[in-house]
Amino acid sequence: MKARLQYLKSRLKIGSDGVRMVGIWGVGGGGKTTLASSMYTEISCYFEGHHLIDNIREESSKYGLKKLQENMLSSFSKTEVKVESIVQGITKIKGMLARRKVLVLLDDVNDLDQLEALAGSQDWFGSGSRIIITTRDEHLLTTHKVDEVCHVQLLSSDEAMQLFNRHPYNEKASIEDYKTLSLRVVSYAAGLPLALKVLGSFLYDKTKDGWISTLDRLKDIPETAIVEKLKISYDGFKNVEKELFLDIACFFRGLKKDDTMEMLEACEFHPEIGIEVLRQKALISIVNGKFDMHDLVEEMGHYIVRGEYPNNPDKHSRIWKSEEIRNMRFEDATMENNKIEAVKYDGYDVPQLCKIVSNIKKLRYLWVSLEQPTYVKGPTFLSNELRYFRWEGYPARSSFPVGFQPVKLVVLKLEKSFQKEVWKGCKRLPHLKVLQLRLMKNLLKTPNFDGLPSLQELILSECHKLKEIHPSLGNHTSLQYVSVSGCYKLRMFPTITHMKNLKNLEIVGCLEILEFPKIHANMESLVELTIIDNGIEVLPSSIGEHCSNLISLRLFRLIRHVKTRHLLFHQSLLQKLGLYASLFNKVEIPSSIIELSNLQELDLSFNDFSRLGFSLSQLTQLKILNVSSCRKLLELPELPSSLTILIADCCESLTTFGDCHKNCRWLCDVSLKGGSILNDGDRLLESMLEACMAIENHYMLLYLRGFHIVKGLTPQLVRGDILSTIMMMKNFLHESKVIKEFVDTILNILYPLNSKANEDLVGMKTRLQYLKPRLEIGSDGVRMVGIWGVGGGGKTTLAYSLYTEISCYFEGHHLIDNIREESSKYGLNKLQENMLSSFSNTKVRVNSIEEGITKIKSMLSRRKVLVLLDDVNELVQLEALAGSHYWFGSGSRIIITTRDEHLLRTHKVDEVCNVQLLSSDEAVQLFNGHAYNEKVSIEDYETLSSRVVSYAAGLPLALKVLGSFLYDKTKDGWNSTLDRLKDIPETAIVEKLKISYDGLKNLEKELFLDIACFFRRSKKDDTMEMLESCDFHPEIGIEVLRQKALVSIVDGKFDMHDLVQEMAHYIVRGEYPNNPDKHSRIWKREEIRNMRFEDATMENNKIEAVKYNDNDEPQLCKIVSNIKKLRYLWVFLEQPTYVKGPTFLSNELRYFRWEGYPARSPFPVDFQPVKLVVLKLEKSFQKEVWKGCKHLPHLKVLQLCNMEELLKTPNFDGLPCLQKLTLDDCFKLKEIHPSLGNHTSLQYVSVSRCNKLRMFPTITHMKNHKNLEIAWCPKILEFPKIHANMESLVELAFIDIGVEVLPSSIGEHCTNLISLKLNSLDNLKSININFDGLKHLKELQLLELIQHVKTRRRLFHQSLRCLQKLGLYASLFNKVEIPSSVIELSNLQELDLSWNDFSRLGFSLSQLTQLKILNVSHCEKLLELPELPSSLTILIADCFRLIEKKRKSGITETPTTYSSVYSPKWKIEYHFPFTISIS
């Protein structure tokens, strides 16, 4: 302890001014609390007051942060202090301690909220104060910006032995007798004090045999007391972090982090940010680039994996020990296993391994390394859940099992395997990113790459029999890295046509490849090209033409032609050039190298030149030059000043450096191994040191095989094969310290980090300016103002800021914080007591809510008070605390915050204010205040910040949480976090938003989840039938959701905050985020793909709603056939084809829409969906929907569109509730079942484009029918017979059908018609309608219809006095034929006479005093308009002759195609080549 206390004390700087916060972090049981408590005890006497809050993690969860604040304040004031809210507690702490020198110890902090409530900032405390914080989470300390972060050091071996010896020995035992056993215990504990104490205490009275038995048991069963203490950190993780930790603990300890990232990314663990979280929680560490962790933390990981079945590996989630596979191999070799998800096996027992792997159904990770691969039968089954698959020595010569369709697979690596081909044909693996085939001695050809659209990395190495790379490789647009090496029989690389994203191409050691790959398209992304040891004879011009962005070009042991050599070097962007072993001599060296102005690395090793023959000083970017093994080299050329590394090993003829290095002021690494003795080595070393001396404060080191010579020593001669290196500090090649400090100062001025108080007030000024006038401060009367909005939107911050600012204007004020939680914990009478006690300054008791109401009214009815009620969620809370205006004296103000607008409206508050989310600029400002520490430049993270701000969409909570989380993360950490948020939202944000969801009724919850998953940005009106079909009562439910700020209606469409939608998706995924078969709703096509093979034969009772938009019919049909509780199904197949349909459809279905139903036969026989409300089929292949009469008592909507094979409709007798029937584009439909004419519930019928339909059923009992439309059915020659009154019919439309007579029955039986449309009836010979019966008709359309003068003249008489719209479009009227009876239609408001032949109307329209719209467009013969009524507002007259006449009359002409001219009464529109303007 002594050494650790000395170190900690120096960090606290006791006695100095200012306030210092020091954090101590480390693994659980590592001694943090002991160290902090010892320091607290030792130094507390130097302070005016001191307080220790022990075990904050547990205490705050039990009693709340307010209680801890009360204890802290009471301790310092020596009297009992009560706190109404956390916000008030903060104010009181600052008020009490801001001028006092105090010591505070906050022990076991695990949440930033705890620090913000108890020690939010240094300015809370007086000068000289010290705050000590212990935690397991380094991130909390850095985010809170403590002054020092100290990592607690575990005990050394000697210290551990000393601590252990205090505990295990009783006075009867000799320490010497137990020495060896003690060493085993100390080794096991690995310096963890907790483990030493627990084991020491346990072994206190045990015999030697007891010690040995305990130590043997610990190998398999760790001590529970130790594990449970360590497990606290694990329990605080998100699920994805837990899975990541367990994978590292079981598989990857001791492995390089970079090598394991692809495995962890394959499993969608978002490892970059997850690993940083684990490190900051002290569960893992990165040592020399490798994963490491404390032995007992690893044991804890294994303990969690083994769970309740430590000796049954078949029930573990992960298998990593070969003996566990052996233990399983007999009892479970024939049993299916759904528990194991990851296996790493390093052994030799191939047959039994294959049997076991064949029965593991949920395997996501498999790494097999067979010590002696042999040819035996391979696995009969491989899990389709696999994401990472690596098998060294796959035994079978045949390809993988036929049913192996691993659509989630990301990485596939095969090595030393026996297969001739990986799989047959084109396999679709949509997520595969890495394909690596090494030492595949029998492999003849690669797979087809067309089915691997996401492939980024391809490696083919030492596949000696490989003759063909599939030509589809050349078209691959996602590939970034391709390496082909040691494939001796490969003769050709595919022609490159579309490899637009390829960055790196390597072809090495393929001697049969004689021709460079043909390139037919630009390869703008290609930056590295390596061609080594191939048979290529010509390097074509296409390299320069299509690979213009090359940075690195390596051509080793390749160039044989002088002409080719001199054509190579014209790549202006080239940064790396390798000409290894190209047998260059002096004459042949291409001097055009010096034109590569961006060159940074040049490799000329293993060549034959003696001199370069030209200077390299022009290569001002060159940093590395390699001339190793140039055995004839006599001297070096002049080197550029930029050079930092020179490698000249094994240059036997090089004996002098001359002056080539005279300008090299950055040269810090020179290697001269294996060469001859240098005559001027000391000159080189002097030059290097002199150049480096100019820069102060840099540590320089000369490395000579283990001997260190520091800067001050005299340089010695360096000769022979001794390596000479001067090593500089890490920042040697960057800006000097002075420049860096200067830049940092400027950045701090430009982008100051706001204080905590200011952060909380971002955007507050404008919101307070809006809210203050609503309170009407200073006026008489009582006003209640409600603030509502989405959770985390800033309601409380806004209300408290206002409360703080105006409280001085009132006789008394009181704030009740977090009423939702407080009332559920303590009851409303407790809140009443606190309120009354606050205003009376004495303790008040309340026995019942009614008594509390009486006391509040009595105490406050004559006092001017301010009350803030925060986070109200029930009306009874308002009724108990501020039931009415008359409870309070004149001038009082009541501020209420809530997520529920309905509460405020119901309580009749005076103003309801919706809190506005932050603008983009405000969001950036708030985020910057949380996310950036002083060590980074904001500009460097600008793009990433924009992504975060966009994700948060103005929600302050999200900006604070994400900003605090990202505070100490690298750029890679930011990227990883943002990628993870796409799949796994931040828990702290979701749980806050979820409070509103939790308060909904079950029906409202289901409605909300459906809208969030399926209907966001869909029109509300279009989705109502879907929601109604599921009995959600959506009209009232949607209003509830809107009032709770969970949904909004924007332009008639559903919308919601992005993070509210994320919260809904989080709820739906529940405990199984990666198992869509266990979600209640499926809406992403990839989730269907991920399910489609593994669950195709399993019943599913979890999924209740599916929306699918894709093309994979067969597998979709299999899955749908096994979903037993489906209530909602919407399928849209982009390219429907005829295949076998589902064998089963859920009888729970309420809404069923399938565009492209594949089967020609009807639905399955046992499909009896008695709950079905909506059935819509489109582009489907059925000839009939179902056979016979099916009883569907609740079906309201039946829509059959584009049913090209449909011959007849269903029998409608079994559909008693049918209200809407649509038959559209059913080209082969010949018959509508006659039962339709007897249907009493139908309200809407539309039949259109049914080309073979000859008859509409006789109408006998359609008493509720409101709308009938028959259109574009040319073979219907007879109007439907009507044998009964249709009193409900208000709209009737017949368009382009073959009827010859319009019967009198229309006027006799359809007497309540409001709209009649008779358009394009080309075969019509007679209109026998009795218009006298149509006394309610308001709209009449007769377009392209009237051919008989007599018919025309008897249409428009006073019987149509209610008519408001009349359309006579394209009726070919001339002047004589225009029915003047039009002017008798006194209520006419719209008249359409367009596309007619008259030149003048021949009568005035001035009598139509209600007319507002007149359309005479395309009346090409029209010369003049009649007198128009004063009521007219819109005239549409696109008539060429009329316009030409006006133009010749001198009316203004404007060359535009559209214009509107306004007068007080007229809007005149001309849509033609000229515009007429009337002044």
Chain segment 1104-1135, per-residue pLDDT in tens: 999 988 766 677 888 888 888 899 999 988 76
Q: State yes or no: pLDDT of 1359 exceeds 80.
A: no
Identify the weakest region by mean pLDDT among 121-135, 177-191, 1235-1249: 177-191
**Over 50: is that where the pLDDT of 1153 sits?**
yes
Q: Which of 416-420, 695-699, 1232-1236 has the lowest mean pLDDT?
A: 695-699
Helices (H), 890-1033: 901-906, 920-931, 942-952, 956-966, 971-983, 987-998, 1002-1010, 1020-1029
pLDDT at 924: 80
pLDDT at 173: 54
Q: Which of 58-67, 751-760, 857-866 has the lowest mean pLDDT?
A: 751-760
| Contact assessment for residue 1055 and residue 1045, using Cβ atoms and an 8 Å cutoff | no
Helix 828-840 crosses helix 819-826 at what angle (to 10 degrees)? 110
pLDDT band, very low/low/confident/very high, at 1243 (cuts 50, 70, 90): very high
Q: How confident is the model at residue 589 (pLDDT cuts 50, 70, 90)?
A: low
Check: CB of residue 1145 under 8 Å from CB of residue 1123: no
Amino acid 898: pLDDT: 93
Residues of the chain with pLDDT > 70, as a percent, come to 85
At residue 174 the predicted structure's pLDDT band, cuts being 50, 70 and 90, is low
275 or 759: which leads in pLDDT: 275
Between 1379 and 1306, residue with greater pLDDT: 1306
For residue 155, the 8-state DSSP code is: P
- 637/660 Cα distance (integer angstroms): 6
Average pLDDT score over residue span 559-564: 44
Q: In the numeric block, which tokens belong to residue 81?
A: 């202090």
Q: What is the pLDDT of residue 563?
A: 43
For the chain, give the mean pLDDT. 81
Q: What pLDDT score was predicted for residue 586?
A: 53
User: In this model, does residue 1467 exceed pLDDT 50?
Assistant: no
pLDDT value for 555: 75
Please report the pLDDT score of residue 691 as a whole number.
53
What single-letter amino acid sits at 7?
Y
| Contacts with 1035 (C-beta within 8 Å, 6 or more apart), sequence order | 1024
CA atoms within 13 A on the CB side of 895: 31
Q: Which residue has the higher pLDDT, 706 or 693?
A: 693
Distance of CA 530 to the CA centre of its chain: 37
Lowest mean pLDDT segment, chosen from 557-571, 726-740, 927-941: 726-740
Q: What is the pLDDT of residue 1216?
A: 92
Locate the DSSP E strands across 1345-1429: 1365-1367, 1390-1392, 1413-1415
Q: pLDDT-derived band of residue 1017, with 50, 70 and 90 as boundaries? A: confident
pLDDT winner (highest mean) among 624-628, 647-651, 1304-1308: 624-628
Residue 1357 has pLDDT above 70, yes or no: no
Q: Of the candidates 1019, 1010, 1004, 1008, which has an alpha carbon nearest to the alpha carbon of residue 1049?
A: 1019
* 1394-1446 tens-digit pLDDT: 888 888 887 889 989 999 999 999 888 888 888 899 999 999 988 766 655 55
Q: Which of 294-298, 359-363, 800-804, 884-888 is modeled with the greatest confidence?
A: 884-888
pLDDT attached to residue 427: 85
- Per-residue pLDDT averaged across 310-335, rounded? 74
Regarding pTM above 0.95, the answer is no
Lowest-pLDDT range of 625-634, 656-665, 1086-1095: 1086-1095
State yes or no: pLDDT of 348 exceeds 60.
yes
The pLDDT, as a whole number, for residue 1344 is 76
Query: 268 burial class (0-12, 13-18, 19+ CB within 10 angstroms)?
Result: buried
How far is residue 862's CA from residue 869's CA, in Å, rounded to a whole number?
Answer: 20
Q: Flag the least confident range among 522-536, 848-862, 1025-1039, 1349-1363.
A: 1349-1363
User: Which band of pLDDT confidence, cut at 50, 70 and 90, is reported for residue 1372?
Assistant: low
pLDDT-based confidence at residue 758 (cuts at 50, 70, 90) = very low
Supply the pLDDT for residue 1158: 81
pLDDT in tens, 816-827: 988 988 898 889
Q: Is pLDDT above 50 for 1246? A: yes
* Residue 702, pLDDT score: 37
Higher pLDDT among residues 161 and 1091, named by residue: 161
Q: How far apart are CA 126 and CA 857, in angstroms?
A: 42
Residues in contact with 138: Cβ distance below 8 Å, sequence separation at least 6, in sequence order: 23, 25, 149, 151, 279, 280, 281, 282, 968
Question: Which of 1067-1071, 1089-1093, 1265-1269, 1366-1370: highest mean pLDDT?
Answer: 1265-1269
pLDDT at 503: 92
Lowest-pLDDT range, 543-557, 858-872, 1274-1288?
Answer: 543-557
Q: How large is the average pLDDT for residues 48-56?
A: 93
pLDDT tens for each residue of 523-532: 888 988 888 8
Question: CA 293, CA 313: separation in Å to the nearest integer?
Answer: 23
Residue 122 has what pLDDT?
93
- pLDDT for 1468 equals 42
Q: How many CB atoms sit inside 10 A of residue 583's CB?
A: 14
Q: What is the reported pLDDT for 911?
A: 93
Element (H, E) at 870: strand 865-872
Where on the phi/psi map is residue 55: left (φ > 0), alpha (ψ -120 to 50), or beta? Answer: left
Largest CA distance in the chain: 133
**What was the pLDDT predicted at 213?**
79
Nearest-CA neighbor of 549 among 494, 498, 579, 504?
504
Phi/psi at 319 (5° precision): -125, 125
Under the banding of pLDDT at 50, 70 and 90, the label for residue 1267 is very high
Residue, of 1070 and 20, whose pLDDT is higher = 20
Beta strand 1151-1155 with 1326-1327 is unpaired
Closest C-alpha among 1000, 992, 1004, 999 to residue 1059: 992
The model's confidence at residue 104, banded by pLDDT at 50, 70 and 90, is very high
Per-residue tokens: 1012: 């969030």
DSSP at 252: I
Q: Is residue 1383 pLDDT above 70, yes or no? A: yes
Q: Judge whether residue 68 has pLDDT over 90.
A: yes
User: Strand locations in 533-683, DSSP E?
Assistant: 552-556, 576-578, 601-603, 624-626, 645-647, 669-671
| Higher per-residue confidence, 1300 vs 410 | 410
Q: Is the pLDDT of residue 1473 over 60?
A: no
pLDDT at site 1459? 30
Compare 1270 and 589 and report the one with higher pLDDT.
1270
Give the pLDDT score at 177: 62
Work out the pLDDT band at 1465, boundaries 50, 70, 90.
very low
Q: Flag whether pLDDT at 1367 surpasses 80.
A: yes
1013 DSSP 8-state letter: I
pLDDT mean over 839-859: 91
Q: Is 121 left (phi over 0), alpha (psi -120 to 50) or beta?
A: beta
